[in-house]
Amino acid sequence: MPRNIFHEMFIDMAWVEAKYAMEWEDDENKEEEVEFIISNLMEKEPLQGRTPLHVLAANSATRTPTLAAVASEVVFLYPLALTTKDDNHETPLEIAVANSSYPEIIKLLSITNLETLDQDELDRQYASEEYHVGQALKLIHAEDWPACIEFLDSKKPDDQFIFELLSYNLCGTTIIHEIAICSQKYHDDLVFLLLRLVHRHPPALHTQAEDENDYEVDDDDEFPWDTTPAEFARGEDAWPSIGNIILEFLLVDVR
């Protein structure tokens, strides 16, 4: 059986592309899409009989937030990969140890009982950036701006956390993009939230998500993928929202 897309992406350490590939696009067909993803994670490549998790373990010496998220999701979707041996009778854990993988990956691959761990718990323990971004996105998509502020207050004064939150690649967008998309109604706390985020980390307005894998987007999709939040707020492709009106004013102050 030839290598599949996950073997190739993990060999290339294309973690952003891999994360994108593991996200289902249609909730109505979620079950079929997840089954297809799992079937790929089960496959062994022909040279050494390795699953994608074996390949990930061999290429995880350098930690990135997206690698941590991908590893967590692979283990959640196909936990049997943890104990699967390749043609050299090695598990992913043994490969990770031999290749000096970073500590969180080794801990993740050392799990022996997944029955009590759901996806959120795996992310919380082994992919903290993904977990915190997920918590923030739930509040943003609900347009619960007071709760977003409480969420930030709970992390104060951790500027590193704010930096990671604002620079995290959401498969083509950033947290500020997401706020702009969801902010269709004016709220004082929405203004306060954007002011706080930009004040804590002004470069966030000019941070472009690393769209290095050139994700395919339908021709009729008008979303301006390759933009910074600043570009997203103005110009021909500006997204119409209250959040972007606020961003437009903020741009005057941070130039």
pLDDT at 217 over 90: no
- Quote the tokens at residue 125: 């323990």
CA–centroid distance for 153 within its chain: 23
Q: Minimal CA–CA distance to 212: which of 16, 56, 6, 9?
A: 16
Residue 73 has pLDDT above 80, yes or no: yes
Tally Cβ neighbours within 10 Å of residue 94. Answer: 16
Give the pTM: 0.76
Lookup result for tokens 């500027």: 159
**Residue 219 pLDDT class (50, 70, 90 cuts):** very low
pLDDT higher than 60, residue 245: yes
Percent of the residues in the chain that have a pLDDT greater than 90, as a whole number: 39
**Exposed, middle or buried, 88 (CB in 10 Å: 0-12/13-18/19+)?**
exposed
Q: CA 250, CA 255: separation in Å to the nearest integer?
A: 9
Percentages helix, strand, coil for the chain, rounded to the nearest 5?
A: 60, 0, 40
d(C-alpha 119, C-alpha 111), whole Å: 14
3-class SS letters over 104-170? HHHHHHCCCCCCCCCHHHHHHHHCHHHHHHHHHHHHHHCCCHHHHHHHHHHHCCCHHHHHHHHHCCC
User: Model confidence over 95-143: pLDDT tens digits?
Assistant: 999 999 999 999 999 998 877 778 888 998 999 888 888 899 999 989 8
Judged against a pLDDT cut of 90, whether residue 214 lies above it is answered with: no
Torsion of CA 121, 165, 22, 104, to 10 degrees: -50
Which of 135, 237, 119 lies closest to 177, judged by CA?
237
Structure letter (DSSP) for residue 83: T
Confidence of residue 78 (pLDDT cuts 50, 70, 90): very high
Q: What is the mean pLDDT of residues 14-35?
A: 82
Structural tokens at position 150 = 């409480």
Mean pLDDT, range 34-38, rounded to an integer: 92
pLDDT at 201: 77
CA gap 172, 188 in Å, rounded: 28
Quick one: which of 107, 103, 91 has its CA closest to 51? 91
